[in-house]
Amino acid sequence: MSIVVTGGAGFIGSCLVRMLNDAGEKDIYIVDDIGQTEKWKHLVNKSYREYIHKDAFLERLDSLSGEVTHVIHMGACSSTTERDFDYLYKNNFEYSKRLWDHCAREGISLIYASSAATYGSGSEGFDDTADIGALRPLNGYGYSKQRFDLWAERQTQAPAQHVGLKFFNVYGPNEDCKGDMASVVYKAFRQIQATGKVELFRSHHPDYADGGQLRDFIYVKDICRAIAALIRHPEVNGLFNLGTGHARSFADLAKATFAAMGLPENIEYIDMPEHLRGKYQYFTQAEMGKFRSVLGGQGFHTLEDGVEDYVRSYLGPGEIY
């Protein structure tokens, strides 16, 4: 195989490259926009053929004809607070269209990242067998991802394998590059290191206690294992949720972080900023029946096991995966 991983120096992408390397795959093109960030550190322990800037890569597509077998498209602007919609549209929608068209012409595999943000408030549920046209994302990021999902659904010419994955709340090593979009595990660990406590938002919904807001937290290693399974099953196509299928509370997550650090629990609740309250999801949980129907009963880390591995193997010692 010869594999392109866009976003290959970022969070999920670099973890995927690690897992591919561990499986013996080294013929990998890493596509990203590292610039003046520290994402280059995620490449130091990886084996790959070439790093290509994301803008230069589109110009290189034709020269790679007949060589690349898989494009795994993890690259995107994933900030839910990004206000420049023109940038989101170009980066998340138009760029993805170019890759789809190339993979369709070449007859190769395209596995791409969608997002659970396409589900918006969740009022329509989190069912990946339902009509995606009925979804109403709450932010420009989610809408840019939905636009591509809808566009892909209409195409008559498709890559040999075409799979979109609606990631839920992913956490794990190599997310230091994500800034405000880093997981609550990452932020909790840093807060505990600095202050000995974790701050969580109070609930502003009568059905949820403070810290009782629920998310489907999934460990990044499970994401990578799922993508590896899809590579092994080229007959699988479609748009799938990718979470654990089991929602857990932010309080559970904070407690798991304290336990992994071997420290007593100390959680403080603070008011949610006004500008977030109208767009806040109190519950997300992936319906995983469609995924399991094609890839069987892949197991996932429990929240406690995933957080323990993350904290003790990576955050604590400051290691890259």
**Residue in 41, 54, 178, 187 annotated catalytic:** 178
Q: Is 178 assigned a catalytic role? A: yes
Domain boundaries, the chain: 3-172+217-245+282-301
Fold of 3-172+217-245+282-301: Rossmann fold (3.40.50)
The per-residue pLDDT for range 35-64, each reduced to its tens digit, is 999 999 999 999 999 999 999 999 999 899
Q: Is 141 assigned a catalytic role? A: yes
- pTM assigned to the model: 0.95
The reported pLDDT for the residue numbered 299 is 87
3-state secondary structure the chain: CCEEEECCCCHHHHHHHHHHHHCCCCCEEEEECCCCCCHHHHHCCCCCCEEEEHHHHHHHCHHHCCCCCEEEECCCCCCCCCCCHHHHHHHHHHHHHHHHHHHHHHCCEEEEECCHHHHCCCCCCCCCCCCHHHCCCCCHHHHHHHHHHHHHHHCCCCCCEEEEEEECEEECCCCHHHHHHCCHHHHHHHHHHHHCCEEEECCCCCCCCCCCCEECEEEHHHHHHHHHHHHHCCCCCEEEEECCCCCEEHHHHHHHHHHHHCCCCCEEEECCCHHHHCCCCCECCCCCHHHHHHHCCCCCCCHHHHHHHHHHHHHCCCCCC
The per-residue pLDDT for range 257-304, each reduced to its tens digit, is 999 999 999 999 999 998 888 778 899 999 999 999 998 877 899 999
**Residue in 95, 141, 143, 219 annotated catalytic:** 141
The per-residue pLDDT for range 216-268, each reduced to its tens digit, is 999 999 999 999 999 999 999 999 999 999 999 999 999 999 999 999 999 99
Could you tell me what percent of the chain has a pLDDT over 70? Answer: 100
The reported pLDDT for the residue numbered 280 is 80
The reported pLDDT for the residue numbered 121 is 86
